[in-house]
Amino acid sequence: MEGKQRLYYALGQLIYCVALADNEIQEDEIDKVHSLIEKLSEEVSLNFDIAEIIVSLQRRQKVSTENAYRWALEEIKLCKHYFDQQLKDDYLYILNGVAEAYNGIKDDEESLIARIKDDIHQILLKPAL
């Protein structure tokens, strides 16, 4: 898997974490993931489909959100040189959209998105080895 694709894999992991932050993945959230990814895919590339597939796989395998989160951050660390401002904006756009999809953004989802934003910021600040 190439570097940019790994970042979409990480996005899928983070979408899974946000969708599960309120203890259950709602169909509204899955529908929102699909529509947001479809919209961005038209504008950017079909790599967003990778993120959607990851959400589906994680959901079936019942991966813990902490493991999914840790894996996502590792992928971002490994491929941070591909992580530009546009991709960061896309991540936050999708994650906020997923959180908002089912009865608005809840406190758990909001704090998780803030954590994601902060962790990504910290990763991008550290110089590459």
Q: Which domain holds residue 30?
A: 3-125
Task: Give the number of domains in the chain.
Answer: 1
% of residues, the chain, pLDDT over 70: 81
**pLDDT tens-place string over residues 58-85:** 666 677 889 999 999 999 999 999 888 8
pLDDT of residue 65: 86
pTM reported for the whole predicted model: 0.81
**pLDDT tens-place string over residues 94-117:** 899 989 988 889 999 999 999 999
pLDDT of residue 52: 63
Query: Where would I find the H helices in the chain?
Result: 3-20, 27-43, 48-61, 65-78, 85-101, 107-125
